Amino acid sequence: MAGSKKGKMPDDRSDLRRRADEVLKQYGELDKIPPADLNRIVHELQMHKIELEMQNDELRRVQQDLEISHEKYFDLYNLAPVGYFSLNEKGIILEANLTAATLLGEEMSNLVRQPLSRFIYREDQDLYYLCHKKLVETNAKQACEIRMVRRDGTTFWVRIDIILARGFDNTMGTRMVLIDISERKQAECRQALSAEILGILNDPPDIDNAIDHTITAIKRDMGFDAVGIRLHRGDDFPYVAQDGFSKEFLLAENTLAVRNQNGGVCMDKDGNISLECTCGLVISGRTDPSNPVFTPRGSFWTNKASILLELPIDQDPRLNPRNRCIHEGFQSVALIPLRAGNQIGGILQLNDRQPNRFTPEIISYFEDLSIIIGIALARKLAEDEMAGAKRRSDSLNLELEVANEDLEAFSYSVSHDLRAPLRHMTGFAKLLKKRMEDQQDEKSRQYALLIADASAKMERLIDDLLSYSLLGREEMPKKEVSLSQLLKESIDEVSQDMKGRDIIWKIGELPIVYCEPTMLKLVLVNLIANAVKFTSNRTRAEIEIACNKGESEVECFVKDNGVGFDMEHVDRLYGVFQRLHTQTEFEGTGIGLANVRRIIALHGGRTRAEGSVGKGATFYFSLPNHRERL
């Protein structure tokens, strides 16, 4: 209805004017117009006035709707979670929404009429150019991932989607959507960095190379101004690798240990090394998780290191704070403990001169990474120590080979060079003794006997030395042997020394053992001979032989009621030429027990002894239960 009237309104107005002119011409003057015609004209004018007011109301309503719609568009455009740009054909920004301005740290008005390339990271501008070139060539939507630069100089990653579009002036331009993908890129970067560091730490090179490469990778990917690793070396925690710290900084900060006037290391009340400054606090594990600069996992971090200068002395938990990082201009500082189990073996230090370089997520990431680094470095250090031990072992083995060769030469010398004059001496002593049998010079005959006895003892000593030196030089073929049978043979072998003696034997149940029978028989002969010898001053000797079988070994013993020994000297018993009694008290060469220990060691067993002066002695030897299968 209103629409139809609005459509006729121009014609009605002209018709009304025409008829009014005709009335005026007909009557000449306005006051001569008949009241009926005048009333009709006034009525029509009032109707037109009402229609005009209605049309104005409609126009106002439409305008209000347009304003509301514009506000809605403004909100959707400016408050969208992504950035929008409109650009002309030369890449000049014509329009940008609030999100785009916020991402770039600029006012919206400052973006208009600026080239977009100004905000693209220099190294990524070629990538954007290729993307735009392909858009023009294909007229199809294009996308790429590039870095952009904020007003404060920091960079962030975005994904851009661009399309061709015509403007109000019908010129061709582009419209662009920006999505901040920094978090995803950072996660990808951290994942790649972790994988790279794991690869570095698992590679064969030594620990120093591994640490250097780790430092390089962290600094390259994270872009920090300085990165360093401190590790426990001796009584301190110096930098073993770093990149970005000045020589002056390192000279001042390389040591953390507190030292006294004599240069000695000072210890805390718990017996640990006293360490200075914030690094020392983290390494010592004395961090307070209720303090916002510390984490529950013992790290320290701040995006404004200068706040440490404001700490009152009585509230500063650090020992001898130096604040060198602050004086060097570092604002963002993080100290991450390197752990292997519960032990802190060092720290990973991250420094940057820009504030706000860290977030809780970044610190948590490096705490996770530091566990990997700490364990890997501990393993690397153990591997290096093992390699060093192997080198030392190889060197010792070489020295041992040389010593064995010398021993062989010595054995040959003893066996041949010493035996020849000894045989001469023994032979001439016997001739002298025979020649003097008919003579009355008793003293001369006694001298001849002493010479013969000394020669015999010397020969036994040489035999024992040779036997000891040759032990273990050849492979010992082991087999299952009845210890009872071996014991019987051993007792028979020393039976000559038992003539005229009253000896009570107590022999327990003896097992089958896995051994080289000749060598083990030598052990038994030595121990039984000693028991017989050192009970010779007893009217009735008691000798007990038995075994105790355990899970991993069988332990045998020979016990007697002889003269015994002082346990203070027990370590001397198994040494070569180590005797606790004089030759006049009990004869012997001092090599028997040394042979026992060496033979048992070659079988993988142990030896020990117990005794008491005047109350007898017990000698133990063990053999492993586990045996090689024949």
pLDDT at res. 2: 42
Q: What is the pTM of this model?
A: 0.52
Return the CATH architecture of domain 186-387.
Answer: 2-Layer Sandwich (3.30)
Is residue 149 scored above 90 in pLDDT? yes
* Angle of the 442-470 helix axis to the 360-412 helix axis, nearest 10: 140
pLDDT at res. 141: 95
Going by pLDDT thresholds of 50, 70 and 90, the confidence category of residue 115 is very high
Is residue 474 scored above 70 in pLDDT? no
- Phi, psi dihedrals of residue 4, rounded to the nearest 5°: -65, -40
Return the CATH architecture of domain 80-180.
Answer: 2-Layer Sandwich (3.30)
Fold match, 80-180 / 186-387: yes
pLDDT at res. 91: 93
Question: In whole angstroms, what is the distance from residue 141 CA to residue 42 CA?
Answer: 65
Please indicate whether residue 510 or residue 465 has the higher confidence score (pLDDT).
510
pLDDT at res. 54: 80
Interior CA angle at 353 toward 352 and 359, to 5°?
50
Question: In whole angstroms, what is the distance from residue 418 CA to residue 466 CA?
Answer: 12
Residue 517 corresponds to which amino acid? P
Question: In whole angstroms, what is the distance from residue 246 CA to residue 1 CA?
Answer: 87
Beta strand extents in 128-170 (DSSP E only): 142-149, 155-166
Is residue 9 scored above 50 in pLDDT? no
Burial profile 186-198: b = 16 or more Cβ within 10 angstroms, e = fewer: beeebeebbebbe
Going by pLDDT thresholds of 50, 70 and 90, the confidence category of residue 387 is confident
pLDDT in tens, 500-512: 888 899 999 999 9
Q: What is the homologous superfamily of the domain 473-624 according to CATH?
A: Histidine kinase-like ATPase, C-terminal domain (3.30.565.10)
- Phi, psi dihedrals of residue 287, rounded to the nearest 5°: -95, 150
pLDDT at res. 549: 87
Going by pLDDT thresholds of 50, 70 and 90, the confidence category of residue 40 is confident
Residue 512 corresponds to which amino acid? I
pLDDT at res. 4: 43
Partners of 334 in beta bridges = 301, 350
Mean pLDDT of 195-215: 84
Mean pLDDT of 309-330: 87
pLDDT at res. 546: 94
pLDDT at res. 317: 86
Give me the chain's average pLDDT, please.
82
Q: Which of 27-31, 208-212, 486-490 comes out lowest in average pLDDT?
A: 27-31
Q: Which of 178-187, 210-219, 581-590 comes out lowest in average pLDDT?
A: 581-590
Going by pLDDT thresholds of 50, 70 and 90, the confidence category of residue 45 is confident
Question: In whole angstroms, what is the distance from residue 346 CA to residue 577 CA?
Answer: 51
Is residue 144 scored above 80 in pLDDT? yes
pLDDT in tens, 53-84: 787 777 777 777 666 666 666 667 787 889 99
Is residue 28 scored above 70 in pLDDT? no
Residue 590 tokens, joined: 């001092």
pLDDT in tens, 583-602: 555 565 556 787 888 888 88
Is residue 463 scored above 70 in pLDDT? no
pLDDT at res. 348: 96
Residue 189 tokens, joined: 């970067």
Going by pLDDT thresholds of 50, 70 and 90, the confidence category of residue 1 is very low
Going by pLDDT thresholds of 50, 70 and 90, the confidence category of residue 38 is low
Mean pLDDT of 189-198: 89
Task: Please compute Rg for the chain using Cα positions.
Answer: 52
Mean pLDDT of 562-568: 84
Give percent above pLDDT 90 in the chain.
Answer: 35
Is residue 253 scored above 60 in pLDDT? yes
Residue 184 tokens, joined: 């995803």
Q: Reduce the secondary structure of 242-269 to three states and give it as a string.
A: EECCCHHHHHHHCCCECECCCCCECECC
Q: Where are the domains of the chain?
A: 2-77, 80-180, 186-387, 473-624
Give percent above pLDDT 70 in the chain.
Answer: 81
pLDDT in tens, 263-298: 888 888 888 888 999 999 999 998 998 999 999 999
